[in-house]
Amino acid sequence: MIAISGLTKRYRDVVAVDDVTLEVPAGSVCGLLGRNGAGKTTAFKCILGFSKPDAGVVHFDGHELNTETFATLGYVPERAQLYSWMTVAQHLELVRRTQPAYDEARARELVSTFRLDMRKKAKRLSKGQQTALSLVVALAPNPKLLVLDEPASGLDPVMQRAVLDILVEAATSGATILLSSHQIGQIERAADRVAILRDGKLVVSGDLDDLRAASKTVEATFDGAIPALNGVNGVARWETAGLTARAYVNGRPAEDVAAQLTAIGGHGVRVLDRSLEDIFLDAVSDGGAR
In order of 64, 260, 262, 272, the CA distances from 245 in angstroms are: 49, 13, 12, 13
Would you count residue 224 as binding other proteins (CB under 8 A)? no
Smallest distance, other proteins to C-beta of residue 183, A:
21
Q: How many residues bind other proteins (CB under 8 A)?
A: 35
16/164 with CB nearer other proteins:
16
Task: Give me the half-sphere count of Cα atoms (radius 13 Å) on the Cβ side of residue 190.
Answer: 32
Stretch that binds other proteins, among 63-71, 182-190, 222-230, 264-272 (CB under 8 A): 63-71
Smallest distance, other proteins to C-beta of residue 65, A:
11
Of 8, 23, 27, 49, which one interacts with other proteins (CB under 8 A)? 49
Would you count residue 99 as binding other proteins (CB under 8 A)? yes
Name the nearest CA neighbour of 152 among 121, 120, 184: 184
Would you count residue 214 as binding other proteins (CB under 8 A)? no
The secondary structure element, H or E, covering residue 165 is helix 157-172
The interface with other proteins within residues 245-274 (CB under 8 A) comprises none
Residues 6+ apart with CB under 8 A from 287: 236, 237
Would you count residue 85 as binding other proteins (CB under 8 A)? yes
Would you count residue 94 as binding other proteins (CB under 8 A)? yes
Would you count residue 74 as binding other proteins (CB under 8 A)? yes
79/161 with CB nearer other proteins:
79
CB 132 within 8 A of CB 155: yes
Would you count residue 90 as binding other proteins (CB under 8 A)? yes
Would you count residue 95 as binding other proteins (CB under 8 A)? yes
Residues 6+ apart with CB under 8 A from 259: none
Of 100, 174, 242, 287, which one interacts with other proteins (CB under 8 A)? 100
Query: If you count DSSP H runs as helices and E runs as strands, how many of each does the chain have, helices first?
Result: 9, 14
Would you count residue 86 as binding other proteins (CB under 8 A)? yes
Stretch that binds other proteins, among 26-34, 66-74, 124-132, 274-282 (CB under 8 A): 66-74
Per DSSP bridges, beta strands 215-221 and 267-273 are antiparallel
Name the nearest CA neighbour of 268 among 219, 228, 196: 219
Task: Give me the half-sphere count of Cα atoms (radius 13 Å) on the Cβ side of residue 170.
Answer: 32
Smallest distance, other proteins to C-beta of residue 11, A:
5
Would you count residue 37 as binding other proteins (CB under 8 A)? no
Q: Report how far residue 132's alpha carbon sits from residue 125's, in angstroms, rounded to the nearest whole number.
A: 10
- Positions touching other proteins (CB under 8 A) are 11, 16, 42, 45, 48-52, 67-71, 73-77, 80-83, 85-86, 90-91, 94-95, 98-100, 134, 137-138
